[in-house]
Chain A
Amino acid sequence: MGELIRVIANPSFVDKLLQQTLIHLSLSGAAVALAILVAVPAGIWLTRAPRLAEPVMTAVGLLQTIPSVALLAFMIPLVGIGTPPALLALFLYALLPILRNTYIGIREVDPAAKEAGRGMGMTSWQMLVMVELPLAFRVMMSGIRVSTVLIIGWATLAAFVGGGGLGDTIMTGFAMVSTGHILAGGIPVTLMALCADFVLGRLEKVVTPRGIRV
C-alpha cells in the first residue's frame, strides 16, 4: 500500500495514468462498438440462415480459444504495431458473446408470439423490429455486457503490441518489480470493468419493456 502511495504521489505519473486510462477506455469502447456493429447484424442474419449458424459460431468460438498474447502477436505481421493490432484482436474477442446472444436471443423468442405475428400479417422486417428484437433485447444486452467487461480486462494486454493503455503501467511494474506500479495500473482496470458492468446492467433494466421484466 505504501508503495502504491509513493508511486501516485508523483503528479506527472498521475497525469500519465489518466491518459492511459483514457486510451484504455477508448480502445475497449471502440472494440466493443465495432463488435456490436458487426455481430448484431450477423447474429440476426444467422437466425435467417440457421444452417450457417453452427459453422459460423464454431469459427468465432475458435478465435476465442487462441491465447490472447498469441492472438496479439499474430496481428503484428498483419497490421503492424500500435493501436491497430490491439484494436483488431480485442474486436475479435468481443464478437462471440454478442453474436451468440443475438442469435440465441432471437431464436428463443416464444414461437407462439412469432406464429401470431406471422398469422396477423407482419412482414419479416416488421416481425424483427416489432417482435423479435424487443423480446431478444435483454439477452443481447447481456452479451454486450459480458463482452465489455471481458475486453476491458483484455485491453491490458494491448501494451504488449504498443497499443498503450493501463497495461503500460502494469508492464512497467513487472519490469521494475514494483508492486506500486502494478496496483496503480491494475486497480483502475478493475474499477472500470466493475463500473461498466454496473452501468450496462442498469441500462439493460431501464430499457427492458415493463411487460417482460422479471
Chain B
Amino acid sequence: MVRFEHVSKVYAGGQKAVDDLSLTIERGEFVCFIGPSGCGKTTTMKMINRLHEPTAGTISVNGQDIMQMDPVELRRSIGYVIQQIGLFPHMTIAQNVELVPRLLGWDAARRQQRINELMPMVGLDPAIYRDRYPKELSGGQQQRVGVIRALAAEPDLILMDEPFGALDPITRETLQDELKRLQAKLKKTIIFVTHDMDEALKLADRIVVMKEGRAHQVATPEELLRSPKDEFVAQFIGRDRLSENPSTLLVREIMHRRLVTVDPKHGIAEAVVTMRQRHVNSVLVTDEQDRLLGIVTAKEIEEVKRGTVADVMRTDVPTVLPDAHARDAIGRMYLDGLDHLPVVDEQRVLVGLITRSSVAEVLSRSAWQDGGAA
C-alpha cells in the first residue's frame, strides 16, 4: 500500500529529519510511528501526502510514485486527521464532513447519504448535530468529526497525526476504542503518529520506533514488549511495563497525569462548563502553585447554584503520595468507596489522579502478563 525506498528528507537549513528510511506498509495494516519529538515521525507521515517532499528516495502509494502524481489529487485520495483537529469553524458539521466529496464533485444526494452513514458511526446523531458548528461541540466530539471527515470520500489510506494528543485521558481512551472498532470494520490502512506508547501498543498492528530520522525498530506490539532492540527502545516502552508486577506498582506509575482542574476563584457556572466540556463529573481545585485545595462534584454544584468554586468545594479530600504502593491506594478506594484519589506530593502539589479506570488498567496488565507467561 505504502512503500518507502531509501527516503531522506533534509530541510533547507541542512537539518536531517528523515535518514534513508525503507519500509513497506501492507494494505489494511494499522501502523504507529512513535518516537521522541524531532525523531522525524511527523515528517515521515507528511511526506506521504506531499505536505513535505522527500529530498531523496521514492515513496509509492498503491505502486505509484507519489512524485509523479498531482499533489491535490493525491491528498484527496488520502484521509488526513491532525492533532489540532482543524475543523473549519465557519462550516457546519455536515459541511465539514462532506468537504472532500464536494471537492471531488459528488452530487448533493450522494454527499447527504454519506453524512448520514458516517455520523452515526461515531455516535453523532445527524438530526441533532449536522447543522451545528464546531464550537458547539466538545473537543472529543470535534475530533470524532475530524475522523469521519477523513473517511468521507472512502479513502483506502488514512494518515493521523497525533489525533488524540490534545484530548483528556478519558475521552482519548474512548476515541481510541472507537477508532479500533472502526478499523476492524472498515479495514483501512492507517498510519498513525503518536508519542504515547500506551496508545501505540493499544492500536497498532505494527509499531515503527523512530530515532534520529531512522526506523530504529519495526515490530508488532508483542515483539516490541518481549524483545526491545536496545536500551533506547526499552526506555521508551518504559522499564516498569517490561518488568511490571502489579503488586509492586507504585501510584506514580498508574496515575493519570492530564487533569481537569479549576481555580477556586472561578464561578460555579465556569466549573460546570469545564465539567461538561471534558465529560467529567468532578474537578479538582488547585491554587496557582498547583497545590490541591479541594474537589467540586456535579452533585454539590446542583445544590448550590451561585457563588465561586471556593464556596462549594469539599476540602476533606483523601489523597495519596506518588510513591505509595498502587495496591494500597486501590485497596483504600474500594474500602472507602471512592471514585477517585488525587495524588499529591509532600507540598500538596497535585501530580496525578487515580480513578477506577486506572484500577482496571492494573488488572488488565496483570492479566496480560499471566497470558504471556502461559
Contact = CB atoms under 8 A, between A and B. Distances in A.
Interface stretch (B80-88, B212-220, B326-334, B335-343): B80-88
A84 interface: no
Interface in B146-176: 149, 159
Contacts, number: 72
Contact of A131 (B49, B85, B88, B149): B88
B362 to A, nearest CB: 36
Interface stretch (B70-78, B110-118, B179-187, B296-304): B70-78
Contact of A211 (B74, B85, B99, B133): B133
Given A119-B51, A121-B100, A211 B92 contact: yes
Contacts of B77: 121
B134 interface: yes
B88 A121 contact: no
A121 B51 CA distance: 10
A119 B80 contact: yes
B51 A118 contact: yes
B10 interface: no
A135 interface: yes
Given A119-B80, A119-B82, A121-B72, A212 B51 contact: no
A134 to B, nearest CB: 5
A132 B156 CA distance: 29
B99 A120 contact: yes
Contact of B103 (A119, A121, A134, A212): A121
Interface string A122-163: 110010001100110000000000000000000000000000
Contacts of B108: none
Interface size class of A (residues with CB under 8 A): 20 to 34
A211 B135 contact: yes
A211 to B, nearest CB: 3
Given A112-B84, A115-B82, A210-B133, A120 B103 contact: yes
B82 A116 contact: yes
B131 to A, nearest CB: 10
Interface string A86-128: 0000000000000000000000001111011111111100100
B86 A115 contact: yes
B82 A113 contact: no
A126 B76 CA distance: 13
Interface of A: 110-113, 115-123, 126, 130-131, 134-135, 209-212
Give 8 closest A-B pairs by Cβ, nearest first: A116-B86, A211-B133, A121-B76, A112-B84, A121-B75, A119-B80, A112-B86, A209-B90
11 contacts: A111-B84, A112-B84, A116-B85, A119-B75, A121-B73, A121-B74, A121-B76, A121-B103, A122-B72, A131-B88, A135-B88
